[in-house]
A and B are shown apart, each in its own frame.
Chain A
């Protein structure tokens, strides 16, 4: 069974940093691209970042470029999102999602971790 479990969310002050993790199990992690998608309170889904299976290709939304860094450790079956210079508008539930082979989208999602940026 595919499982994606996010952790690392919490309350942080504007300008602060946070590192999110996503622990994957139930599939060959190193064979799949991985993604972060967020959802601000009461709002729709927003794509944040994607990383290919071998980390060769990395993409960011314009809203986080230069502040967030996606990475993965295939030996540990883990995905990460380093978030720096956080802003109030980064407040959201952050979801880890497995990429679809042959398409750009997700087939499995984690339960999410809440990040709140507030003073």
Chain B
């Protein structure tokens, strides 16, 4: 099995760009798709990126996903930050043992 490691928290100002990383401990990050989920306080998760870099309908193009094989990590980038983007963000991938989640990153927009 493998682990996905995310920073515990990040903060940035409105209008700026922030990137949240998700590093896979073993096996290639490119071997299995990575998803990103947003969870606002008191709400259920929603999907903001699936299959590494695909946005579900309704998710603004300020959200983008990518993978980097050299660092064996995935990234979620949010540009033009808004206060409504303040939330917990979780990466998720899989291998033979379905569904591995990262520990989550708390994004503060201040």
Q: Chain A: residues with CB nearer than 8 A to chain B?
A: 35, 37, 44-47, 50, 59, 95, 97, 100, 102-112
Contacts and interface: CB of A to CB of B under 8 A. Distances in A.
Interface string B85-110: 00010101110001111111000000
B101 A104 contact: no
B44 A105 contact: no
B46 interface: yes
Contact of A47 (B56, B101, B104): B101
A50 B45 contact: no
A57 B101 CA distance: 21
A100 B99 contact: no
Given A44-B104, A50-B98, A95-B45, A103 B90 contact: no
B33 A103 contact: yes
Interface in B30-67: 32-33, 35, 37, 39, 44-47, 50-51, 56
A107 B47 CA distance: 6
B99 A47 contact: yes
| List of 9 A-B pairs having minimum Cβ-Cβ separation, nearest first | A47-B99, A105-B35, A104-B94, A103-B33, A44-B104, A45-B101, A59-B98, A109-B44, A111-B44
Given A47-B99, A95-B45, A107 B104 contact: no
Contacts of A46: 101
A106 B44 contact: no
Interface residues of B, number: 24
Chain A contact residues, majority secondary structure:
strand
A41 B103 CA distance: 14
25 contacts: A35-B99, A37-B99, A44-B88, A44-B101, A44-B102, A45-B101, A46-B101, A47-B99, A47-B100, A50-B98, A59-B98, A95-B44, A95-B45, A100-B35, A100-B51, A103-B33, A103-B35, A104-B32, A104-B93, A104-B94, A104-B99, A105-B92, A105-B99, A106-B37, A109-B45
